[in-house]
Structure 1
Amino acid sequence: MIIDPAARQTDGEAVRIAKDVLSAGAAAKVCLPDGPEEFARALGRRGSRRPVVVGDDRALVRTVTLLHRQRELAGCALSVVPVGDSGLAESLGVPGGTVAAARAVLDGAERRLDLLVDDSDGVVLSTLGIPPEPVRAAVAAPVPAAAGRAWYRSLVRTLAPRPPRLPAVPAPGPSRLRIEVDGEAVVDLGQPVEAVAVTPGTGGLAEVRVRPLSVGAEATPLRAFGRTVTVFGADFRYRADAAVSGPVRRRTWRVAEDAWALVLPPA
């Protein structure tokens, strides 16, 4: 059991519950790395033990990336108990609650999933977005851990001084990109696009959705399926799962079919 440092800071009570449930149901070795390097070493020293990551979506992506780059991903079934941001993990089928997720680790079954691998050896588990979604410039004030008591968190939020409301950072303007799926152009540089989304599906195919810039009437979204997706043109940034990368001028993603196994609740 590898407990991400951010999880211990975010919700120590959830971490304790996960440890208790997992230790009661199976022989568990607990690792408490202090940073990314120790996290990687703990993962590399797992031996024949099945890794269980207690942490948020970034910890999940970091684990899959490390295993992929070590060429050990295909033979390693991964389990996750989300603590912190868990939208990605839940979209893959992991329960959001600590107890339910820990029980799924003990009683669940492996499910093999596709992912995207780019030409810099990065991975995408769920959705690739171009451009990244805009974020707010204001940062919410931190809320102390409340030992699982929702009413206490609500009280703290009520009493804490509210940060000034700042306007959202405007979304990037339309991009001129050439998007190829399996070598065939879906849209070329002459057609500005507002957004592109690429999602690994099933059977080794990715779904590509392109929203062209609308002039007057709303433009019809374009949709394609393929094993490789190449995007190039003006410098662009993209969001891969929980992280923003770029700017890059060209990037290719390919689908790795059944590339990894995630332990999920029985169907």
Structure 2
Amino acid sequence: MNARRALEFQGLSAIVTGGASGIGLAVAETLAASGAGIAVLDLSPEQAPGHLHAIQADVADTAAVADATAQAVEYLGGLDVLVNNAGIGAQGTVEDNSEEEWHHVLDVNVLGIVRTTRAALPHLRRSAHPAIVNVCSVTATTGLPQRALYSASKGAVLALTLAMAADHLYEGIRVNCVNPGTVDTPWVGRLIAAADDPGAERRALEARQPSGRLVTAQQVASAVAYLAGPSAGATTGTALAVDGGISGLLVRPSASLRPEAPAHREP
């Protein structure tokens, strides 16, 4: 990281929801390393490292979100960046999830962003560099099997991101999202461990992405940091794919992509 990038968030403050583990933790650590003051909102704040200021909050609880945001802003002395990362997963086709589960996932993944953003906007309006970054998913733009409910929630996040970007453009508040592919997080690790053949399941998830690798939480965090920072001041209403090419590339199996030896030429 060059000196300019290292100082990009100096003097700025950020709230990261779901920031005690996985992608959220990587985001919080990355912004903190770039100079930002950080407050983490999480259901399990005790999981966050001691150097991060963590506050208990359930994004499905309007009053809890308002209270936690107020606490965070008081601690930080203001607010410049909101990263809406908190979310939950779901598996299955449209036949497999109960209506209760549909309501719960949409409540957390979509309305959770609504609640935190509503609480943060009055403070962001007082910032010289206000930005919101929503953590979306490749499932918002690419159909994946056994992800009907999760895909619907993230499709809503993508649409919400664009609408928010339009609504708050003339207030100077930039709104963007990142669309990760399959990220090597504790949640994905639990899915792999629960499979009949965990090794085969991991290889299948890796092969699904053209890069042949799972995305790392740090790669997603770096994308979030770019979109959140002042250097991206001309970027709003953008969905940045961090997915190993799954949403835009259709390639042959990796074995067939090895470079061929150059043709022999006579002198």
Bigger relative contact order, structure 1 or 2 (CA pairs below 8 A, ≥6 apart): 1
TM, length-normalised to structure 2: 0.31
User: Which structure shows the bigger proportion of residues in helix conformation?
Assistant: 2
Which structure has the greater CA radius of gyration?
1
Give the strand-richer structure, 1 or 2. Answer: 1
